[in-house]
Amino acid sequence: MKTAEKLIFVYGTLKRGCSNHHFLAEQRFVGEARTAPGFRLYELGGYPGMVAKTDDPDGVTGEIWAVDPAALVRLDALEGLSEGVYRRELVPLLAPFADQRIEGYFYNRSVEHRRDLGGEWRG
Ligand code: PCA
């Protein structure tokens, strides 16, 4: 991996075939991944938000991408980090990524009254 690259876990519109995937166009696909149990997706209006949920048994399915610093800036802007919509934080993942420090975008607002999508978003 190039030194400046950072691994990111994506589970929603950034995945291959999904509406925001072009933000990862010049980036490198590393593999499919699943979080540890304790995380769940909620429907936010055409896109999902991941939140921690202690009694979740399954975790969330997604993809790992190696992104360069400029792309990461664009992703953070897309996900509204500075407005507090999402926050980028370490995600506990299952093998083969379990021992790696990989971040993903957690929804940063209430999911009360949002539909529970379980562990996978299909777009
Ligand atoms: N885009 C980011 C977070 C939620 C979304 O739709 C992603 O794909 O991981």
Whether omega for the bond prior to residue 48 falls within 30 degrees of 0, making it cis, is no
CATH number of 6-113: 3.10.490.10
- In terms of residues, how long is the chain? 123
Whether omega for the bond prior to residue 96 falls within 30 degrees of 0, making it cis, is yes
**What is the model's pTM?**
0.96
List, for residues 19-52, the tens digit of each pLDDT value.
999 999 999 999 999 999 999 999 999 999 999 9
pLDDT band for position 123 (cuts 50, 70, 90): confident
3-state helix, strand, coil in the chain (%, to 5): 15, 35, 50
Report residues whose beta carbon is within 6 angstroms of any ligand 1 atom.
10-15, 20, 47-48, 79, 105
Whether residue 2 has pLDDT greater than 70: no
Ligand 1 geometric centre to CA of 53 (Å): 18
List, for residues 65-74, the tens digit of each pLDDT value.
999 999 999 9
